[in-house]
Amino acid sequence: VIRPPGAFLTLTAALLPVLLLPACQPAQPPARSAARPNVIVYLVDTLRADRLGCYGGPRPISPRLDAFSRESVLFENATAASAWTRPSVVSLLTGLNPLRHGVHERLDRLPAEIATLPGILHADGYQTAAFVSSAVITAQFGFDRGFDVFRQEVKEAIEATRPTSAWVNEQAFSWLARRDRDRPFFLYLHSLDPHMPYSPPEPYRKRFAPQADPAAGSVAHVVALRDGQLHPAPHEADDLLALYDTEIAANDEAFGRLLDQLRSVGLWDSTVIVFVSDHGEEFLDHGGWEHGASLYQELLHVPLIVKDARGRGAGRRIAETVRQVDVLPTVLDLLGKAAPQGIDGQSLLPLLSGSPQRSRSPAAFASLDLDGRRLDSVILGRWKLVRTISHDRLPVGEELYDVAADPLERTNRATTNRDPAALLAGLLQRAERDGGRATAPGQVPLDSELEKELRALGYGSRGGRPESERTPR
């Protein structure tokens, strides 16, 4: 990730074949190989790691995931590439940091020239399917590329009284039953339960959030809080967190049912399972709500749990900082395949297999460039630097945190620890110069239907007014 000066041209040349990799050719199944594992990437949108039992969370909302983690490898310090869905999912599927893939804004498309995990596996003869319940990861934005089957049920999933994870399961079970059993598969499952609205179904709500007013979890209410049009009630953060936790509990049960199904149809021992989130959520941790406006750890610290088909590393917990961009090379490594040259991620297989820890973790970059806010961050070892370039809430400038000693990021050490601040600022500068928006993502035209779907998720312009007309707060 840290490149010597002058390496950019060489790197770009090395990357060209990768970028030009054919995306999705008609299936040409290679010779059958019984040994090739299946792969499931299960992403729970908006799931901050610290709520989960296996990450030290305070409530018993994740028994199925906790049990799964004991049969898998749990990465204690996994870092998101951004604080909202699309750039993070692009990083997950491409192994590139946002500064490289260039997908930042609400209408940016997945660039057609970047190789993706489903595209690579499809070209290798895998059956590929995706079942997605987010309005921002859709075919319209190019996310169907590389998938034989890509289904999105955004409105149905959001408006239904059942959790989106139940819809994801129905789709997955049905597809698994009718798939071609002679070929391995790649399945991308994207559940939206903890994303607002925080509207947990019964009986979960009575159990985990009996005190909270269910109406407080509506998109309209949370957006009004987020945009400063409503002042929070004294227990607002606790109530919303309880509703949020409850949605995690519903999602946990659905994830457990998926695992049961895989076992009952005999796929458990032949399937790699990656459990991950795209970003976390704010509950006034640093004065804000929801996500997409800052890069603090409540947004960047995500769960990452990997079950190898062969059970390598089962039960291991790894403290080293790892990243969403590491998922693509790790999955390919688990399948015995090389990753594309020039990506930002590195295979975690050595860590997973118990090799001695790397002498120094690679830097973990994150970027947010949305609705007039521009922030970049980098974590290296114990230090994290956040550089705010433009924002309507945070002061523009640099913040440095010792995330080992101060994981809640309470004390800005930018002026007291100048050496790490300068080192990390240099890393950010270099990443920005070398990345330089290597691709031109192109944008999707905003029609009224799309705007409605995005607003239902709270992705309309904040405050409903252009950035220039808003009062800084």
Contact by Cβ (8 Å): 118, 93 = yes
d(CA 294, CA 324): 18
**190 or 384: CB nearest Zn ion:** 190
- In the complex, least distance from residue 101 CB atom to Zn ion, rounded to whole angstroms: 16
Stretch that binds Zn ion, among 217-225, 272-280, 386-394, 414-422 (CB under 5 A): 272-280
**122 or 226: CB nearest Zn ion:** 226
SS3 425: helix
- In the complex, least distance from residue 276 CB atom to Zn ion, rounded to whole angstroms: 11
- In the complex, least distance from residue 299 CB atom to Zn ion, rounded to whole angstroms: 10
- Name which of residues 96 to 125 contact Zn ion (CB under 5 A): none
**285 or 290: CB nearest Zn ion:** 290
Stretch that binds Zn ion, among 15-23, 84-92, 215-223, 360-368 (CB under 5 A): 84-92
- In the complex, least distance from residue 278 CB atom to Zn ion, rounded to whole angstroms: 4
- In the complex, least distance from residue 312 CB atom to Zn ion, rounded to whole angstroms: 29
What tokens does 297 get? 């750890």
User: CB nearest Zn ion: which residue?
Assistant: 85
**46 or 367: CB nearest Zn ion:** 46
**323 or 413: CB nearest Zn ion:** 323
Stretch that binds Zn ion, among 15-23, 37-45, 243-251, 342-350 (CB under 5 A): 37-45
**110 or 385: CB nearest Zn ion:** 110
Q: Which helix (H) or strand (E) holds 38?
A: strand 38-44
**104 or 430: CB nearest Zn ion:** 104
**135 or 339: CB nearest Zn ion:** 135
The beta strand positions in 135-224, using DSSP E, are 149-152, 185-191
**73 or 223: CB nearest Zn ion:** 223
Stretch that binds Zn ion, among 77-85, 293-301, 361-369, 463-471 (CB under 5 A): 77-85
Q: Are strands 185-191 and 38-44 parallel, antiparallel or unpaired?
A: parallel
**285 or 434: CB nearest Zn ion:** 285
Angle at 221 between CA 140 and CA 443, to 5 degrees: 20
d(CA 362, CA 378): 10
Pick from 116, 108, 88: which is nearest to 279 by CA? 88
Q: Over the range 334-369, which residues count as b (16 or more CB within 10 Å of their CB) and which as e? A: bbeeebbebbbbbbbbebbeeeeeeeebbbbbbbbb
Stretch that binds Zn ion, among 28-36, 82-90, 216-224, 430-438 (CB under 5 A): 82-90
Residues contacting 46, CB < 8 A, separation 6+: 192, 194, 195, 196, 277, 278, 279, 280, 281, 291
Residue 196: C-alpha distances to residues 229, 244, 344 (Å): 17, 8, 31
- In the complex, least distance from residue 241 CB atom to Zn ion, rounded to whole angstroms: 17
45 counts as binding Zn ion under rule CB under 5 A: yes
Contact by Cβ (8 Å): 65, 53 = yes
Binding pattern to Zn ion, positions 237-256, x when CB under 5 A?
Answer: --------------------
- In the complex, least distance from residue 457 CB atom to Zn ion, rounded to whole angstroms: 9
Q: Is the peptide bond before 30 cis (omega within 30 degrees of 0)?
A: no
Bin 436: left if φ > 0, else alpha if -120 < ψ < 50, else beta: left
Stretch that binds Zn ion, among 39-47, 141-149, 211-219, 425-433 (CB under 5 A): 39-47
133 counts as binding Zn ion under rule CB under 5 A: no
- In the complex, least distance from residue 292 CB atom to Zn ion, rounded to whole angstroms: 9
Pick from 50, 80, 93, 49: which is nearest to 367 by CA? 80
Query: Considering CB under 5 A, how many residues would be counted as binding Zn ion?
Result: 4
Residues contacting 121, CB < 8 A, separation 6+: 39, 128, 146, 186
278 counts as binding Zn ion under rule CB under 5 A: yes
Pick from 294, 89, 59, 323: which is nearest to 191 by CA? 89
Cβ-based burial of 407 (10 A; exposed 0-12, middle 13-18, buried ≥19): middle
- In the complex, least distance from residue 137 CB atom to Zn ion, rounded to whole angstroms: 8
- In the complex, least distance from residue 324 CB atom to Zn ion, rounded to whole angstroms: 12
324 counts as binding Zn ion under rule CB under 5 A: no
- In the complex, least distance from residue 151 CB atom to Zn ion, rounded to whole angstroms: 18
Q: Over the range 257-293, which residues count as b (16 or more CB within 10 Å of their CB) and which as e? A: ebbebbeeeebbeebbbbbbbbbbbbbebbebbbbbb
* 380, amino acid identity: L
**46 or 246: CB nearest Zn ion:** 46
Q: What is the DSSP letter of 35?
A: T
Candidate residues 38, 72, 77, 85; the one interacting with Zn ion per rule CB under 5 A: 85
Stretch that binds Zn ion, among 153-161, 219-227, 274-282, 323-331 (CB under 5 A): 274-282
Stretch that binds Zn ion, among 16-24, 68-76, 275-283, 293-301 (CB under 5 A): 275-283
**131 or 401: CB nearest Zn ion:** 131
Positions in the binding site for Zn ion (CB under 5 A): 45-46, 85, 278
